[in-house]
Amino acid sequence: MTEQPGRLAAYWEHQLDKLDDWEEHKSRRLPGWRDRKHRRALTAVLSAADLVLVGTAAVFTKIDDGLFFGLWGAGIVAGGVAFFLLRILTGRMCGGFSRLLDEREREWRHRVTYIGYQALSYLMVASLIYLVVVSDTADGGFRGALMMSALLVTGTTIPTVVLGWSLPDDDPEDFEEGMGND
């Protein structure tokens, strides 16, 4: 005798179906960019944007406010666009859940998640040390908050950066196997 799934289980299945539909829709975007060359270029832009955020947070009191907010804004916009595009190009491996992951994709996702967790942990320790160092200076709390947010953004982009840089190009034979062409 089987029971009907509860409301929570049905809601969860509905959410997973929506996520799968979104991933399927996203997987058809930017077909000409789905190679290592484009992913690595976006990875370089995202890494540079992360460095701009960290660098401007470090020199906040040494530069003019207009220059700071200009650099900070440019880092956020460039990094956000590169991150968004990389998330499209790396597919479900960067996302949280997906029932459609194969073994290779699942292995990549687990590998980069662990790398990202470790890097984020070290970056948060570095931000705490920075906060302690600047706590007695002028605007120490604000400077620490800027550095913590810059390092947090950097840490959360690391899994996508690692995937964008290291994923090989897709093998065209993989697509032909699923087409029924024997």
Residue with tokens 């200009």: 70
- Give the range among 41-45, 47-51, 56-60, 175-179 with minimum mean pLDDT: 175-179
Please provide the average confidence, as pLDDT, over all residues in the chain: 85
Report residue 98 as tokens: 């997906």
Residue 86, in any domain of the structure: yes
Residue 131, in any domain of the structure: yes
Residue 143, in any domain of the structure: yes
Q: What is the pLDDT of residues 100-144, one digit of tens each?
A: 677 888 888 888 889 999 999 999 999 999 999 999 988 888 999
Residue 124, in any domain of the structure: yes
Amino acid 79: pLDDT? 97
Could you tell me the pLDDT band of residue 90, with boundaries at 50, 70 and 90? confident
Residue 132, in any domain of the structure: yes
Amino acid 170: pLDDT? 66
Q: Which domain, by its residues, includes 106?
A: 14-169
Residue 4 has pLDDT above 80, yes or no: no
Report residue 68 as tokens: 């700071």
What CATH code is carried by the domain that includes residue 28? 1.20.120
Residue 179, in any domain of the structure: no
CA distance 167 to 34: 10
Long-range contacts of 38-43 (CB under 8 A, 24+ apart): 38/89, 39/86, 39/89, 39/90, 39/164, 39/165, 39/167, 40/164, 40/165, 42/82, 42/85, 42/86, 42/89, 42/164, 43/82, 43/86, 43/161, 43/164, 43/165
Could you tell me the pLDDT band of residue 67, with boundaries at 50, 70 and 90? very high
Q: What is the pLDDT of residues 142-179, one digit of tens each?
A: 999 999 999 999 999 999 999 999 988 765 554 444 44
Q: pTM for the full model?
A: 0.81
Q: Map the chain to HEC letters.
A: CCCCCCHHHHHHHHHHHHHHHHHHHHCCCCHHHCCHHHHHHHHHHHHHHHHHHHHHHHCHHHCCHHHHHHHHHHHHHHHHHHHHHHHHHHHHHHCCCCCCCCHHHHHHHHHHHHHHHHHHHHHHHHHHHHHHHHCCCCCHHHHHHHHHHHHHHHHHHHHHHHHHHHCCCCCHHHHHHCCCCC
Mean pLDDT over 46-75 rounds to 95
Q: How many domains in the chain?
A: 1
With beta carbons less than 8 A apart as the criterion, state whether 46 and 80 touch. Answer: no
Residue 83, in any domain of the structure: yes
Amino acid 145: pLDDT? 93
Residue 126, in any domain of the structure: yes
